[in-house]
Structure formats: C-alpha cells, structure tokens
Amino acid sequence: MKKFASLIFLLFSVVIATYPFAWMFLSSFKTNDEIYQPTLFLPADYKWDAFISLFNASYLPFLRIFSNSLILSFGQAFLATLISAGAGFYLAKYKFRGRGLVVFLAIFLVLIPKQTLAVPTFDWISWLGWRGSLFSLLLPGAVSGIGVLFFLQVFRRFPQEWIDLARIEGMSPFRTYISLLPLVFPGLMTFFFLHFVLSFQEHLLPLLLLNDENMTLPLALATLKDSSHRIPESVGMAAATLSLLPILIMFSLVFGKMKTALREVTLS
C-alpha cells in the first residue's frame, strides 16, 4: 500500500511538472481562438500555420535570432567549462600563495546577485568598445564561481600522488591537467550543459549589451511582446517550443554523464 501511494504521488508530480510544457507544445498547433477555450486541451486539428508564420514573419527573423542564441550559449559554455575546470584543478592540487583568496572570490561570485554586476559589466564592455556585438557576452559569461567550486570538488577525488608523480616525471601543471581531462569527462559535460541552459535563458545582459541585429531569442520574444508587433499566441507558443529543442537534445545526450558526475562529486 505504501509503495502504491508513492507511485501515485510520483505520477501526480510528473503530471503537474509536465503539464505546462504539454500545453505549450499543443497550443502551437491551435488557432488563437482555440487557445482561449479553457476546456479544449487538444487542438481540433493539428496545423503547422504557427510554425510557418514564425519563419516567414518579417518582424521576427527567427533563424538569425535562434542562431545568435546558439552561438552565445555554446561559446559561453565552452569558455566557462575550460576556465572553470583549469581553475578548479589548480586549486585542488597545487598550493600557492593567495589560494584561499581565490576560493573566497569564487564563493563570493556565487553568493552575490548577478543583477548587481550588470552595471559594472556594462561600463567595462562599453569602454572596450564591444557593446552591441555577440562578443560582448562571451567574456562575462565565461566567468563562473560555481563552476570553479564544482571542478574543485571534482579534482579533489584524484590522489595527490598522481600529481607528485607527474611533477617528478617533468610534466607541467598544464600537461597534467590535460592528461586528467578524460577522467572527468562526465563532470565536463554536466557543467557544460548546465551553463548552456543558463546562457540560453539569459535576459538581463543581452538586453543591456546587444543591439537589435544580434538579439537572442528570449530577448526578442520579450521585446516583441511589448512592441507594436503583437505576436499571435500560437506563434509565440511555436517559438517557445522550438527554443526548448536545443536544451532537450543536450539533456538527452548528457543525462547519463550527469548522473555519473553528480555521484562522483557527492561521494568525493
């Protein structure tokens, strides 16, 4: 009886969690009139008109905006993974003056609200002359305090004797780091995916730093919602549905690696 109750609770939780996504997906095949009928969950007729209108809309260059989001998300995730993994490795396996300060700064970046750094980031990006371009978001997105702490924990599980042996054999810290990367591949993929999702959904910094030509998908949808071009609800649902595809594809590819990485981090 207890197991049956747990199963019912689990199924109920799954329904509650997936209902908004199911409604969004099905609404992309409805007409606007059908969307406003609260009793109609399934569309009367599955139509692709919303997707066709989305790609043909002159006020919303969807392919360009979608590619901007993908380029920024992949670029930020790659740089953040590379930098965070290197910093975490060096902090975990090498002692140097100021090590505690670096760890403190990483914790500080995690605790401080991201909104408080928006204005300073805007100032120095403008000073560098990068404002308006996609490149203006790559460097701010490459810094991750939680990534440094994550990889600090990941590399701690390796015996210190491995590092000492590599030093005796004349291997530099960078070469030692490169040789250990295949062993932490699940952790690399996990952090890459999580940072990709956060970058893909970012709204504040793109709003401050990008121009209209380089705007990302979340920013474009939010901007057009309040502009003179009113997006039909079905077209908005189609855009939101397509925006989930990269995240779902990435999740399906790294799900097994995520379980392995999180298990290693919690047990190390």
Shared domain check, 260 and 199: yes
- One DSSP character per residue, 105-125 reads HHHHHHHS-GGGGHHHHHHHH
Q: CA 136 to CA 114: how far, in whole Å?
A: 16
How does DSSP classify residue 143?
-
Give me the residues paired with residue 132 across strands: 210
How does DSSP classify residue 62?
H
User: What's the 3-state SS for 184-228?
Assistant: HHHHHHHHHHHHHHHHHCCCHHHHHHECHHHCCHHHHHHHHHCCC
Q: Tell me the per-residue pLDDT of 18-38, one tens digit each, with 9 for 90 and over.
A: 888 888 888 888 877 777 776
pLDDT of residue 227: 54
Shared domain check, 158 and 37: no
Instruction: Give phi and psi for 53, each to the nearest 5.
Output: -65, -35
Shared domain check, 246 and 206: yes
Shared domain check, 67 and 32: no
Q: Tell me the per-residue pLDDT of 198-215, one tens digit each, with 9 for 90 and over.
A: 888 888 888 888 887 888
Shared domain check, 143 and 41: no
In a domain, 52, yes or no: no
In a domain, 71, yes or no: yes
Report the chain (268 residues): mean pLDDT per 10 consecutive residues. 79 85 83 72 78 77 88 92 91 85 87 84 86 84 88 85 81 84 86 90 85 82 64 80 86 75 62
Sign of CA dihedral 246, 252, 254, 255: positive
Shared domain check, 31 and 70: no
* Spatial contact of 106 and 151, defined as CB atoms under 8 Å apart: no
- Residue carrying structure tokens 């780091």: 177
- Residue carrying structure tokens 């649902």: 237
Shared domain check, 41 and 65: no
- Residue carrying structure tokens 């990483």: 106
In a domain, 54, yes or no: no
Cβ-based neighbours of 201, under 8 Å, separated by 6 or more: 218
Shared domain check, 261 and 150: yes
Shared domain check, 66 and 15: no
Q: Tell me the per-residue pLDDT of 49-73, one tens digit each, with 9 for 90 and over.
A: 888 887 887 677 888 888 999 999 9
In a domain, 108, yes or no: yes
In a domain, 53, yes or no: no
- Residue carrying structure tokens 């970046």: 109
Shared domain check, 240 and 195: yes
Q: CA 76 to CA 196: how far, in whole Å?
A: 7
Cβ-based neighbours of 232, under 8 Å, separated by 6 or more: 32, 50, 53
- Domain CATH for 71: 1.10.3720.10
Domain region containing 84: 61-267
Give kind and range of the element (H or E) at residue 219. helix 217-225
Q: CA 51 to CA 110: how far, in whole Å?
A: 39
Shared domain check, 169 and 80: yes
pLDDT of residue 78: 94
* Spatial contact of 73 and 205, defined as CB atoms under 8 Å apart: no
What is the rounded radius of gyration, in angstroms, for the C-alpha atoms of the chain?
23
10 Å Cβ neighbour count for 149?
19
pLDDT of residue 75: 92
Shared domain check, 92 and 7: no
**How many domains is the chain built from?**
2
